[in-house]
Structure 1
Amino acid sequence: MGKVYLVGAGPGDPELITLKALRCIQEADVILYDRLINKELLKHAKEGADLIYCGKLPDYHTMKQETINRFLVRYAKKGKVVTRLKGGDPFVFGRGGEEAEALVKNNLPFEIVPGVTSGIAAAAYAGIPVTHRDASASVAFVTGHKKGEDEEERWKSLAKGIDTLAIYMGVSQLPYIQEKLIQYGKSPDTPAAIIHWGTTAVQKTVTGTLETIHEDAMRNEMKNPSMIIIGEVVKYREQLKWFKEDLKASPVSEAL
């Protein structure tokens, strides 16, 4: 019987990967990797390891989730050491929970290897602390995708009860997000930022307010993958920004 490691590769900067995650790459017989990982990490794979691309775009899936689950089970049953390499953290909007469930159903051994998630790292590289004693005692990780009948209640609670929102995969839904947060009580003047390809050499950050951020994003051609940060903590960027960005560079869809 083999074993599966569900591994967080971090947000993009290859130096942010953990030592355990690196060991899982080095020892794997099979690596199934996502679009958002830094491809430099694959250079650490041992000779002869099978590298299988499982990347997804917003409107196109190279490999469906059910197929990925079957691959994990198949290779583990063949006695292989399998590393499922996922951008950020496997349990933060990474479908790691679904993959772990598939392994449990097939009585296969596995480990979860946490990674640095973009909601924290991209903000930090942009000079934005997601919590701050003077501005934010709470932070919520939110998916920008609309799903479910309780959507109204979700945005209502986020608008009133959370200081900082870190929104993943939300660029295409930004007008809707603006509308709902303002509708349910968050000030239109709340500082906001969009960070494209955070922690990488092509990182680009645009700031504005909740009311203006969609217009700001359109004007600067901001695309996915991007993190949206909404909250008073964004105002600290001017003082704390430390990572050099090329603001003249156009956002790219595939940089790594």
Structure 2
Amino acid sequence: MVHFVGAGSGAKDLITVRGKELIEKADVIIYAGSLVNKELLEYRKTESEVFNSAEMTLEEVIGVIKKAESRGKTTVRLHTGDMSIYGAVKEQYDELERLGIEYDVCPGVSSFLAAAASLGIEYTLPGISQSVIITRMEGRTPVPEKEKIETFAAHNATMVIFLSAGMTKELSQRLIEGGYSYDTPCAIVYKATWEDEKKVICTVGTLSQTAEREKINKTALIIVGEIINGAYERSKLYDPSFTTGFRQGNGNG
């Protein structure tokens, strides 16, 4: 059996209870060594085998799993954050299905959720933004033409940008070209929930200068949108004048 486990955003205690228990029981652990907090390996059995997938190809990862399966061992494939976002897991699922190897998935806390917690923000604010766009800049690997930064920027919705901290000058220009103003609030969160976490507020126009000043060029999320300002309309959910399926409003609103 193979268990894909989301390691969480960084802090050792932000893994799920289920994820921790799976690590404790695993005979073989393949972890994303470039991003996963190595303290999570402290939960493992002393005799478990550990492999760093940062140094491996897909074929090598699958080879380790096949060997473990042939010996009747349980494998944990430990991914950073939640593996459904930039986790390169579909190709692993497909290969295991082709080989007839059973697997399941334990979700994790994504860094974009941890970043919001660190900043004390809500991505969806009434009257400001009710949508969150999760995307990245194209670098060595492309993105579909219809998903360019400028295309998404035209919506002026909340945007969370992964894997782009080293390209902030171009990112800033393209966000403005797409429709955000120079003064649109922006946040950079470096290694959310890690001990060396850093967070800074700026604007789309000052994004590049801020990242350079703070010496942030990797392992950071960039959040764009008016939700960072904190201005918003009061939610209807708790408005005394608003009737819900659980509460009768007073009708004064």
**Superposition TM-score tier, normalisation by shorter sequence:** 0.7 to 0.9
The code of the aligned residue for 2:208 comes to H
**Match for 1:113 among 106, 119, 134?**
106
Please show how residues 42-61 of structure 1 align to structure 2 within 5 Å. Answer: 42-55=41-54
Give the ranges of 4+ consecutive aligned residues of structure 1 lying more than 4 Å apart after TM superposition: none
Give the whole-Å Cα distance in 1 for the aligned partners of 2:58 and 2:90.
12
For residues 14 and 133 of structure 1, the distance between their equivalents in structure 2, rounded to whole angstroms, comes to: 34
Aligned length: 229
Does structure 2 conserve the Cα–Cα contact (< 8 Å) formed by 1:127 and 1:236? Answer: no
Q: Does 1:70 align with 2:63?
A: yes
Question: Which of 1 and 2 has greater Rg?
Answer: 2
Which residue number corresponds to residue 137 of structure 1?
Answer: 130
Instruction: Report whether the alignment pairs 1:224 with 2:222.
Output: no
Please show how residues 195-234 of structure 1 align to structure 2 within 5 Å: 195-234=189-228
Report matched runs for 1:1-256 at 5 Å: 3-34=1-32, 35-55=34-54, 62-146=55-139, 147-148=141-142, 150-151=144-145, 153-161=147-155, 163-236=157-230
* CA contact 1:5–1:113 (8 Å) conserved in 2: yes
CA separation of 1:73 and 1:235: change in aligned 2, threshold 3 A: farther
> What are the ranges of 5 or more consecutive residues in structure 1 without an aligned counterpart?
56-61, 238-256
Q: Which amino acid aligns with 1:21?
A: G
Residue-by-residue CA offset, 1:46-102 (whole Å, 9 max, x unaligned): 1200011123xxxxxx22333223323332343221001111001111112221111
Three-state SS of the structure 2 residue aligned to 1:111 is strand
Cα distance in 2 for residues equivalent to 1:139 and 1:214: 22
Deviates more, 1:154-163 or 1:86-95: 154-163
Give the alignment's TM-score, normalised by structure 1: 0.83
Unaligned runs of 5+ in 2: 232-253
Does the 8 Å contact 2:28/2:75 carry over to 1? yes
Offset at 1:230? 0.8
Amino acid across the alignment from 1:136: S
1:136 aligned counterpart, secondary structure: coil
SS at match of 2:76: strand
CA distance in 1 between counterparts of 2:146 and 2:103 reads: 37
TM-score, structure 2 normalization: 0.84
The one-letter amino acid paired with 2:91 is E
Contact 2:156 2:180 in 1 (8 A): no
